[in-house]
Amino acid sequence: MKKNKIVSVSVMIIAVSAILIQWGCKPQTVQTAASGDAASKVYVAPGTYDEFYNFVSGGFNGQLSVYGLPSGRMFRSIPVFSVDPEKGYGFSEETKPMLNTSHGFIPWDDAHHPDFSCTNAEVDGRWVFINGNNTPRVARIGLTTFKTEEIIEIPNSAGNHSSPFVTANTEYVVAGTRFSIPLGNNTNVPIKSYKENFKGTITFIKVDPTSGNMSIGFQILMPGMDFDLSRSGRGPSKDWSFFSCYNSEQANTLKEVNASQRDKDFIIAVNWKKAEEYIAAGKGEKWPAKYAHNTWDDKTHSATSTMMNEVLVLDPTKVPDMVYFMPCAKSPHGVDVDPTGEYIVGSGKLAAVMPVFSFSKMIKAIEEKNFDGEYQGIPVLSYDAVLHGEVQKPGLGPLHTQFDDKGNAYTSMFVSSEIVKWRVSDLQVLDRVPTYYSIGHLCVPGGGSAKPFGKYVVAYNKITKDRYLPTGPELTQSAQLYDITGDKMQLLSDFPTIGEPHYGIACPAELIKGNSKKFYKIEENMHPYVAKGEKEAKVVREGNKVHVYMTSIRSHFAPDNIEGVKVGDEVYFHVTNLEQDWDIPHGFAIKGARNSELLIMPGETSTLKWIPQEAGVVPFYCTDFCSALHQEMQGYIRVFPAGSNPEITFSLGDLAEDQPK
């Protein structure tokens, strides 16, 4: 009996093993072996440049990373909403104000949708804007320094998802709240009073055309529901922005069921030019609002945070002809405008068809007041009157659409893990390719602008499972590159990404690479604690604060011997990198600092705050492998006990008398 049991167990093990082995051997299909010429299409020879820059949000890592296409090589991770100890971002005294909010210093956010600045709805290569989803913010990254230059907080918002989606000439970046919330004086209300008390806002942030500086132009008060994505118009629709929304049911709980009860939610059309007219006519109501506006200055190498206290609010139920609803199949996610500005694609992620709206029909319907009633006081346009047509059975879970330069659209299908290519003019599905796995957003270079560059589509996948060598429970997330130059899309490569590759944008390298800054001119350094040469290096005590005006150059700090600080002093190392040479940063770290390193660009000054905890001698050193004598680039600071009264001394090259020559 026992023996039989062992035999049968053994047979089972063999059978199961055989099945597992068979499953383990993946078939050599297009999924695992991209076709023959794929390798050469993504090969960028050593020392040569990629054709496109690809900026990919890191999602929950709060950063923006920079890749090249077609190689998929990663060049840089730009800290935006999250601290980055590698770069001292959020740790140096100069960068801390960048992460200030009305809630105080926040070291993290969820960065979702980068978008390029535009001129005539074409990518102009000046800035990237990106939204912070959790504590509502929008950031601007400069494309000469690849640095976060500005962050503005969005008041009266809770989850800035529907953002930033730049208007045709970068007049505005937009910010629609994901969560509606109680607004105004009394926000402590029962959650079940959603329908009565909860409101949404759509914010238009004005962008200065020269400096790029952002300021809140106005907010539009919206019915309580969830705002998802957006795209601004171009060409005939350039004065409009379009937003998707869900939860028009106004459910306050179990939204995965209760926000999908109605057949249709809405695409919201906002005429921001009209809104500007109302603002100019004084129709905006002043609402008190506390929000931080943080700006970076490349001359002082420092950020400033200013707390703002007021916004202008427009209520579309009081100022007409500004906001319209277009019915869209269940719970639309993406809303995407084609390059001509005529077609608006709604991706109802729970719907069987994908509606494409016509802007000219929308204008006609508005003129003819072809309404299908209203929703919370805002006119709902007749679905049939505004519809260009429906893409039939496009796939499951349409999410986001990008366009090429030949009149085709590419829509990601989350549920069926595929990209579907279809023609905008007649809405015919032309091709479909699988993605591995669970694609979210997708990107064609310039594919959200009036001038797409075509050539590739990149899938940003949420799940990779067996695509790479396993690394424990958490696996890398991934981008997949497809060639779209032929009739059939062709998978070329997988490349891993850091963070969640939530959303990506790409443009020809020519638009950006020639503007890249090599170093900061030392004579233009306006930092209040700069030392523009070693002769200006010094240590100054001001009460319990000690300011070290330090310089770094290959391969020493000046000074590198400091004595006379005391336990409990606030010591500020203001380190100026004197180099005037491309790609020669210096680092700075000191033992025991409850902080990060500094990483100081050539010509820049950065400050590390350090409070010595005990008497003794403490070393500091350069952390960036700057030169052959990098390991020699170090120094000491001597700490005296609290309550003592030591003299501050500092030196460089002052040897002890007994040193050999």
Residues at the site binding other proteins, with contacts judged by CB under 8 A? 40-51, 70, 509, 518-519, 522-523, 532-535, 553-556, 578-582, 584, 626-629, 653, 661
Measured on CA atoms in the order 546, 549, 553, 556, is the torsion positive or negative?
Answer: negative
Q: Which amino acid is at 588?
A: F
In angstroms, rounded to a whole number, what is the distance separating the alpha carbons of residues 287 and 201? 13
Q: 204 or 549: whose CB is closer to other proteins? A: 549
In angstroms, rounded to a whole number, what is the distance separating the alpha carbons of residues 353 and 252? 27
Q: Cβ of residue 558: shortest distance to other proteins, in angstroms?
A: 10
Q: Check residue 647 and report its DSSP letter.
A: P
Q: Cβ of residue 559: shortest distance to other proteins, in angstroms?
A: 14
Query: Which among 181, 68, 179, 189 is positioned nearest to 133, based on CA atoms?
Result: 179
Q: 115 or 534: whose CB is closer to other proteins? A: 534
Cβ-contact 425, 446 below 8 angstroms: no
Q: Cβ of residue 338: shortest distance to other proteins, in angstroms?
A: 28
Q: Cβ of residue 533: shortest distance to other proteins, in angstroms?
A: 5
- Using omega within 30 degrees of 0 as the cis cutoff, is the peptide bond preceding 355 cis? no
Q: 123 or 214: whose CB is closer to other proteins? A: 123
Q: How many CA atoms lie within 13 A of 592 on its CB side?
A: 14
Q: Cβ of residue 637: shortest distance to other proteins, in angstroms?
A: 21
As beta bridge partners, residue 308 has 291
Q: 476 or 580: whose CB is closer to other proteins? A: 580
Q: Cβ of residue 225: shortest distance to other proteins, in angstroms?
A: 46
Q: 308 or 509: whose CB is closer to other proteins? A: 509
Q: Cβ of residue 553: shortest distance to other proteins, in angstroms?
A: 8
Which pair of structure tokens corresponds to residue 566? 């005391």
Cβ-contact 368, 381 below 8 angstroms: no
In angstroms, rounded to a whole number, what is the distance separating the alpha carbons of residues 592 and 610? 9
Which pair of structure tokens corresponds to residue 651? 């030196």
Q: 356 or 522: whose CB is closer to other proteins? A: 522
Report helix, strand or coil for 30: coil
Cβ-contact 639, 617 below 8 angstroms: yes
Q: Report the Cα–Cα distance between both ends of the chain, in Å, rounded.
A: 90
In angstroms, rounded to a whole number, what is the distance separating the alpha carbons of residues 70 and 78? 20
Q: Cβ of residue 623: shortest distance to other proteins, in angstroms?
A: 15
Q: 420 or 584: whose CB is closer to other proteins? A: 584
Q: 16: part of which helix (H) or strand (E)?
A: helix 2-24
Q: 229 or 492: whose CB is closer to other proteins? A: 492
Q: 73 or 423: whose CB is closer to other proteins? A: 73
Number of residues assigned to the chain:
661
Report helix, strand or coil for 212: coil
Q: Cβ of residue 529: shortest distance to other proteins, in angstroms?
A: 17
